[in-house]
Structure 1
Amino acid sequence: MKSAPTRRRLVLGFGTLAAAALLGGCGFKLRGPQPLAFSSIYLGVSRQSDLGAALHRRIVANGNTTITDDPAKAEVRLEILRDQTEREILTLTGGGKVREYQLQRLMSFRLVGRNGNEWIPVTTISARREYNFDDAQILAKEQEEALLFRDMQIDLIDQLMRRLAAAKP
């Protein structure tokens, strides 16, 4: 007769094997660099801007696509039509002071091929964050707001890269 610890290991082993089979069967895989369907791209945003530098780094890290400075030589052009940040009052205290803000960052873009056909039509993506505000900690709250906007930019670049990876001519 088997002991309880041996049975427990056996059941745990079968459970682990079943979970691995289910995850493998459903198509689960870790995110990583996703290859882009084009060999060269022109970024319609300055490399000196935070957005342009971050996009440049992500596309170069992908490895299979080069970034050109001449739109005529690129297979596709990424056109950033709008990159906008907004700050909106979410709630007020009884005394009329701001208690919470909602931050939003919107980006509209399209991906156009060399011959003018749209690989991705005009698309708007957005990210939102909320944070509590305290008049007594204005400098800290300004830094928190800047960090939240930076986090939203990373989120938007992730969304944009997924859309670029799914783009087909």
Structure 2
Amino acid sequence: MKSSPTRRRLILGFGGLAAAALLGGCGFKLRGPQPLAFSSIYLGVSRQSDLGAALHRRIVANGNTTITDDPATADVRLEILRDQTEREILTLTGGGKVREYQLRRLMSFRLLGRDGNEWVAPTTISARREYNFDDAQVLAKEQEEALLFRDMQLDLIDQLMRRLAAAKP
């Protein structure tokens, strides 16, 4: 006996409704802006740098924190202690040519209160990516590497924002 299209739609509708109820019941929600525990911050990185511009945009988009240019007036100071990119050979071909690279980006930071107390002790966060290299496509692979480094920077900013959201005096 074949099921009618109306019955099939009804079953699919109830299935979708049940899945939505299960997701809502387990506490699932999309990650959105997380409020920061301070009202003003001084960024110890230039706004003209890629990292500074991206971090500035993310904090402004968060909505509840202003960025000041004077560290003395800010509730907290973010100090970027290290921002380093690395590229190392991961594998070689039998002929000794590079087949894969591993890219890493490391960032060390700390968060200081107005009184000099550490809200977040010096912390290092990192991101890594691998990609295949081909001598015949050098320009394309250089662009791919640049995109991967940009992606890693966004990943590190996400990690940094989660740490800042968890910071308490």
Is the TM-score greater than 0.5? yes
Change (3 A) 1:15 1:95: same
2:29 alignment partner, SS class = coil
Change (3 A) 1:90 1:5: same
Post-superposition Cα deviations, 1:58-111, rounded to whole Å, max 9, x if no partner, equal 111111110011111110111111100000000001111111100000111111
CA–CA distance in structure 2, aligned partners of residues 29 and 163 of structure 1: 19
Identity %: 92
2:117 is aligned to 117
Change (3 A) 1:3 1:88: closer
**Matched residue pairs, number?**
169
How far off is 1:13 after superposition? 2.9
CA–CA distance in structure 2, aligned partners of residues 112 and 74 of structure 1: 10
CA–CA distance in structure 2, aligned partners of residues 21 and 124 of structure 1: 39
1:106 alignment partner, SS class = strand
How far off is 1:165 after superposition? 1.6
TM-score, length of structure 2 as denominator length: 0.92
How far off is 1:151 after superposition? 0.9
TM alignment of 1:50-69, pairs within 5 A: 50-69=50-69
Which segment is superposed worse, 104-113 or 27-36? 27-36
Q: Deviation above 6 Å: which 4+ runs of structure 1? A: none
Change (3 A) 1:77 1:6: same
How far off is 1:37 after superposition? 1.3
Change (3 A) 1:87 1:3: closer
CA–CA distance in structure 1, aligned partners of residues 54 and 5 of structure 2: 52
Unaligned runs of 5+ in 1: none
Change (3 A) 1:100 1:3: closer
How far off is 1:118 after superposition? 1.9
Post-superposition Cα deviations, 1:14-51, rounded to whole Å, max 9, x if no partner, equal 32222112211222111222221110000011111110
CA–CA distance in structure 2, aligned partners of residues 6 and 97 of structure 1: 61
2:100 alignment partner, SS class = strand
Change (3 A) 1:139 1:9: closer
Unaligned runs of 5+ in 2: none
TM-score, length of structure 1 as denominator length: 0.92
How far off is 1:2 after superposition? 12
Post-superposition Cα deviations, 1:108-165, rounded to whole Å, max 9, x if no partner, equal 1111111222222221111111111112222221111111111111111111111112
CA–CA distance in structure 2, aligned partners of residues 121 and 85 of structure 1: 22
Change (3 A) 1:3 1:103: closer
How far off is 1:9 after superposition? 3.4
CA–CA distance in structure 1, aligned partners of residues 33 and 125 of structure 2: 20
1:8 is aligned to 8
